[in-house]
Structure 1
Amino acid sequence: MPKSAKPVPKFASEDEERAYWESHDSTEHVDWSKARKVTLPNLKPTTKTISLRLPQHLLDSLKAAANARDVPYQSLIKVWLQEKLQEH
C-alpha cells in the first residue's frame, strides 16, 4: 500500500459499507500499481443473442453435422467459429 494509504474502516452493516464506497475512492486505500491480473477459469462467459440469416441448405447441413456429433447445432457453430478464429 502507498505510504499515505488509509486503512479501510470497519462497517456495522452492508448498507453502511455501501454508503462509504459511494463517497470514497478506493485509491485512498489500495495501491493499484501492485495489482495483478487473475484468471477465473470457472466463470461462464457472458453470451449475447444475435440474429443470423443463413440459407436453408446451410442450416440443414449444420443441423445434420451437429446431429452426427450428438451436439446442439448452435453449440457446433460456436465451436467451429472459435476454431476458425484461433487459426488466425
Structure 2
Amino acid sequence: MKKNLNEIKDYDKKDTTQFIDRKHPKKLKDLDIELPIEEPTKVVSIRLPSKLLNQLKAYASDRDVNYSALIKMILSDAMDKKSLRQY
C-alpha cells in the first residue's frame, strides 16, 4: 500500500503527458471507473420573497455553494425529516 501511495505522490510531481495517447483516448469504462448515476431533473419555477432569496444566496455564498444547489439540499433534508415523521 505504501509503495502505491509513494508512486502516486511521485507521479503528482512529474509531467505525465507523455502517457496520453490522443489518437486512442481511454474511456472511463476502460479504466473500470463508474460515475454515479444522476437522477433526472426537471426545471421548476418558484416564486420566493426577495428577502428570502437574498438570504439563501448570501448563505450559499458563505459556503461556496450555488444557491440553487443549496435550495435542493434544504428541500431534500426537509423531505428526509418528513419521511421519518408520521402524519
**Aligned partners of 2:43, 2:64: CA distance in 1, in Å?**
23
1:3 matched residue in structure 2: none
Aligned to 1:53: 47
Corresponding position of 1:42: 36
State how far apart, in whole Å, the 2-side matches of 1:55 and 1:42 are. Answer: 35
Residue in structure 2 matching 1:67, options 61, 64, 71: 61
Which of 63, 70, 83 is the equivalent residue of 2:77? 83
Q: Which is higher, the Rg of structure 1 or of structure 2?
A: 1
Unaligned runs of 5+ in 2: 1-34, 83-87
Output the TM-score relative to the length of structure 1: 0.52
Q: Tell me which stretches of 4 or more aligned residues in structure 1 moved more than 6 Å.
A: none
How many residues are paired up? 48
CA shift, 1:54, in A, is 0.5
Whichever structure has more helix as a proportion of its residues is 2
Structure 1 unmatched ranges of 5 or more: 1-40
RMSD: 1.2
Post-superposition Cα deviations, 1:3-50, rounded to whole Å, max 9, x if no partner, equal xxxxxxxxxxxxxxxxxxxxxxxxxxxxxxxxxxxxxx8211100001
